[in-house]
Every structure is written in C-alpha cells, then in structure tokens.
C-alpha cells in the first residue's frame, strides 16, 4: 500500500487513476442535490451500524490483474474476496465523481439517484474512485452474480451505492461479480 495525500492506495491501484474514499463533486451538481445526497433518513435495514457493515477500510477485497486468457476481462483487473464474506454482508461502497451531466462513454458510471424533475445523478469512477470500480459483470464468468449494487443511507444520512453479498457466503479468493444490467450491455453492443 502507498500513502498519497493522506489517503492510502490499495495494492495494485493503477498509477494513472486517483484513489478516493469519499465523493468528489462535479460542477454540474447543484447545492440542493448535494444536500439531497448528504442529508436523509438512514436506511433501517442497511445502515452503516449494521453488524455486517464493512467500514471504509475495504478490507474484504483485493484488486487483481486477470491473467487467465479464458476470462472475458483478460488482461484487465477484477475485484476478489480477500477473506470469507458472509451472505448479505456489506462489502464496500462505489465511490467516484458525483455528476449531473451525461457520461455516455464512461464504462465506470453508475446511477445513484433519479430526482423528481427527471434529473439523473451518477457516480463516475473513470478517473477517480475506489476499489469498487474494478468489479466485473458475471456474464461469461459465472452463472449468476455473487454480489449486487443496492443504495442505502449511512448513519450520518449520506446516500451511498453499496455493494452487498448475495444470499450465499463468498469464499476467500472468489471473484466478486455483479450484474451491470441488460441495458448496460445493450448500450455497448449498439455502440459497436
Ligand atoms: C467497471 S469496469 C470493470 C473493471 C475492469 N475490468 C478494469 O480492469 O478496469 C467495466 C469494464 O470491465 C470489462 N468487463 C467487466 N465485466 C465483463 C464481462 N463479464 N465480460 C467482458 N468484459 C467485462 C469491460 O471492459 C467493461 O467495460
């Protein structure tokens, strides 16, 4: 691990990316939207005080270079369990740049919030983020995902997009895999 501007980068963090454990706000995000993200009632089922919650240390995960040629993300990175993760446990949060503008070409952009006026707020980790940006989609790797994106509010009321273990324990060494959703893949096939 390497310390950089008071933030400790995890092992295998690429030099061309900025590591952060807290949101960066893009200028397209209004003060009102910031307030909506930062202040809300904590989620009763999925709060950060839940016994299954993993803190910002992200110590359940490790980034690995994928060296198996049969893997569809060969020569890229993936996110793996560094220890056994109990079913339904909080694993880590998806952190990056919060934005209100369109990021049509980013493969690291996740929807966080849709406002009543139709405005969509995303988390883009294409240049700045945490370990979560390396989580791959299960397609072509396993029959089903072993983790899922589910939003929740922390004890202090901040809206987060958490990555949570599915209904079964995840073994140490297993790759963490979510579903990006059919629409994500459809948009990319249509672009080709
Ligand atoms: C959010 S990134 C995941 C991390 C990425 N592997 C990396 O090293 O930066 C999304 C990209 O990972 C790759 N990817 C993820 N899951 C995949 C899958 N099941 N099949 C093929 N490529 C995948 C694609 O290139 C996709 O655009």
Q: What is the pLDDT of residues 4-45, one digit of tens each?
A: 556 789 999 999 999 999 999 999 999 999 999 999 877 776
> Averaged over 163-167, what is the pLDDT?
98
Q: Which of 10, 79, 103, 107 to mutate to test the pocket of ligand 1 (most atoms within 8 A of CB)?
A: 107
Q: Give the residue from 182, 6, 154, 161 showing the smallest Cα distance to 98.
A: 161
What is the residue range of 157's domain? 2-191
Taking the C-alpha atoms of residue 96 and residue 161, their distance in angstroms, rounded to an integer, is 11
Q: What band does 50 get if pLDDT is binned at 50, 70 and 90?
A: very low
Q: Is the distance from the beta carbon of residue 134 to the nearest atom of ligand 1 less than 6 Å?
A: yes
Question: pLDDT-derived band of residue 134, with 50, 70 and 90 as boundaries?
Answer: very high
Q: Is 133 near ligand 1, meaning CB less than 6 Å away?
A: yes
The backbone torsions φ and ψ at residue 162, rounded to the nearest 5 degrees and listed phi first, read: -85, 155
Residue 57 confidence (pLDDT):
64
| Ligand 1 center to 29 CA (angstroms) | 27
- Predicted pLDDT of residue 59: 85
Q: Give 9 Cα–ligand 1 centroid separation in angstroms.
A: 21
Ligand 1 near 113 CB (within 6 A): no
The pairing of beta strand 120-124 with beta strand 109-114: antiparallel
CA separation for the pair 168, 172 (Å, rounded): 13
**Looking at the predicted structure, is the pLDDT value of residue 75 above 80?**
yes
Q: CA–CA separation, 81 vs 106, rounded Å?
A: 25
Q: Is 13 touching ligand 1 by the criterion CB < 6 Å? A: no
Assign residue 114 the CATH number of its domain. 2.170.270.10
Tell whether ligand 1 has an atom less than 6 A from the beta carbon of residue 24.
no
Nearest-atom index, ligand 1, CA of 134: 4
Number of domains the chain is built from: 1
Dist CA 32 CA 100 (whole Å) = 12
11 vs 137: CA distance, rounded Å: 22
For residue range 92-128, what is the model confidence (pLDDT) as tens digits?
999 999 999 999 999 999 999 999 999 999 999 999 9
User: How many A from CA of 41 to the centre of ligand 1?
Assistant: 34
The string over 28-39, giving b where at least 16 C-beta atoms fall within 10 Å of a residue's C-beta and e elsewhere, is ebeeebeeebee
Q: Respond yes or no on whether ipTM tops 0.85.
A: yes
Q: Is residue 140 over pLDDT 70?
A: yes
């Amino acid at each position: 691990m390497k310390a950089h501007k008071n933030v400790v980068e995890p092992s295998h963090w690429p030099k061309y990316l900025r590591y952060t454990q807290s949101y960066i706000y893009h200028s397209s995000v209004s003060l009102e939207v910031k307030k909506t993200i930062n202040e809300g009632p904590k989620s009763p089922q999925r709060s950060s005080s839940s016994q299954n919650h993993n803190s910002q240390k992200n110590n359940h995960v490790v980034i690995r270079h994928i060296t198996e040629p049969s893997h569809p993300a060969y020569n890229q990175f993936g996110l793996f369990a560094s220890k056994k993760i109990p079913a339904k446990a909080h694993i880590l949060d998806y952190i990056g740049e919060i934005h209100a503008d369109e990021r049509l070409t980013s493969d690291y952009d996740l929807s966080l919030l849709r406002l009543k006026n139709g405005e969509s707020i995303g988390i883009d980790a294409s240049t700045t983020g945490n370990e979560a940006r390396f989580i791959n989609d299960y397609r072509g790797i396993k029959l089903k995902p072993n983790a899922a994106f589910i939003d929740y509010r922390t004890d202090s009321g901040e809206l987060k997009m958490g990555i949570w273990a599915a209904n079964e324990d995840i073994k140490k060494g297993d790759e963490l895999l979510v579903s990006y959703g059919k629409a994500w893949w459809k948009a990319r096939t249509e672009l080709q």
